[in-house]
Structure 1
Amino acid sequence: MKLVVLGATGMAGSRVVTEALARGHEVVAVSRSGASDTSGVTSVQGDVTDVDRMKSLFAGSDAVVSATRPRRGEEHTVPATTTALLDAAAAARTRVVVVGGAGPLRSPGRPGLLVLDDPRYVEDAWRDAAVASVEQFRVCQAHSADCVYLSPAAVLEPGVRTGRYRRGGTTLVADPDGTSRISAEDMAVAVLDEVEKPGGQPHVAVGY
């Protein structure tokens, strides 16, 4: 498959690129700098808000994976950025997997509470990012593009690739004690599994 990965040099995006290459896919890696130290990819500089540019890059691809993250203090830009991304994908008739946040998921054991509003998972320092993930999810819900929103566990950080994870729906994937985590490497496994074999759900949660 030919895949376009946005945010390809970030923590999540770089792992998606590595996993895609390991599976034999052709990868176009898009980032603000256009630089990538990963061999075997086509590195491209691009701004997600440039709809015409993105439409051109998406044309002929089998899927797009968006793993972009706003800089701290720029979380308010997420809705407009996501809308531009989906506009381009819809115009190019390309499916998109958006690697988002845990904020819009239901809190385990508390179905009436979003993760966004559960202090067990969202500290004050990360609330702006969590709010942005909820807004991003709502943009995806409302858009006509072929899109799936993938919410990782509450703690997403570099680690090891085990190839194992649990897949859920609209509730945060967590252990019985409430622990919710996944490595960026296994999150990438989940992303590529969704790309290769779509599960048919518009919102997917993954974690250990």
Structure 2
Amino acid sequence: MSNVVVYGAGGTAGSRIVTEAADRGHRVTAAVRRPEALTWLPAGVKVVTGDATSAQSVRELATDADVIVVAIGGGERALWRDAAENLVTVLRDVPNPPRLIHVGGGATLLTPNDTPLLDEPDFPDEYRDAALGQADALALYRSSADGLTWTYLSPPPVEFHPGERTGRYRTGTEHPVVDEGGRSVLTYEDLAVAIVDEIENPRFENMRFTAAY
């Protein structure tokens, strides 16, 4: 059993990660900016006011945590890098720092030509800021997280949506995992399964991975 802190616990990904971890018997702290907005909670989950870009918040919650999951969203480009930079800076000064798992962007995955999907000429403008922010966060972990244990999980770049929890998925590292038809598909529910599987059985320490059916 692990002590798991989930930043962004009220969001589409975060809420499912909270549920999956709690259902498996982990001690879960749901960190959200507005706790009063959470109208659901699995039994035993603790809710706190928390912000991944706040040094004080991370320092307080890291003390008893085994794992910090970052599943934040909805901000401008700087949000993801600011959160990653804050987490790396603070956790370096925490004795026995928790492991860090960041739910990242699928647009940072690579094309068959080994260029980021977000650099493709037809990449939608409305998603560019978020994609660039997630790319900034990944680059920061890779260059500046020495001494910490981190993992960055990229979902499929397009076909990623709420749906059924099947408990199955396949993994890759830098390129999307595709099926026989060339599609890369995953539900948020099975993303949560992949996250909690990684908490319980680490396979991708200090690297990025991706998951799909």
TM-score normalised by structure 1 residue count: 0.90
Question: Structure 1: which 4+ aligned runs deviate by more than 6 Å?
Answer: none
**1:204 paired residue among 183, 188, 209:** 209
TM-score normalised by structure 2 residue count: 0.88
CA contact (8 A) 1:151 1:205 kept: yes
Residue 96 of structure 1 and its aligned partner are, at CA, apart by: 0.5
Q: How does 1:29-48 map to 2 (within 5 A)?
A: 29-35=30-36, 36=38, 37-39=40-42, 40-48=44-52
Unaligned runs of 5+ in 2: none
Aligned mates of 2:91, 2:163 — CA distance in 1: 31
**Amino acid in structure 2 at the alignment position of 1:188:** A
CA contact (8 A) 1:30 1:46 kept: yes
**2:163 paired residue among 145, 159, 166:** 159
Aligned mates of 1:133, 1:187 — CA distance in 2: 17
Q: SS of the residue aligned with 2:115? A: strand
CA contact (8 A) 1:115 1:172 kept: no
The CA RMSD over aligned residues, in Å, is 1.7
Are 2:16 and 1:15 equivalent residues in the alignment?
Answer: yes
**2:92 paired residue among 90, 97, 110:** 90
Residue 117 of structure 1 and its aligned partner are, at CA, apart by: 2.2
**Amino acid in structure 1 at the alignment position of 2:168:** R
Which residue matches 2:104?
100
Are 2:68 and 1:64 equivalent residues in the alignment?
Answer: yes
Which residue matches 2:116?
114
Q: How does 1:112-191 map to 2 (within 5 A)?
A: 112-118=114-120, 122-142=123-143, 143-144=145-146, 145-154=148-157, 155-191=159-195
Residue 119 of structure 1 and its aligned partner are, at CA, apart by: 5.8
Residue 70 of structure 1 and its aligned partner are, at CA, apart by: 3.4
Residue 12 of structure 1 and its aligned partner are, at CA, apart by: 0.3
C-alpha change, 1:189 and 1:32, in structure 2 (3 Å) is same
Q: Percent identity?
A: 35
Aligned length: 203
Aligned mates of 1:83, 1:157 — CA distance in 2: 28
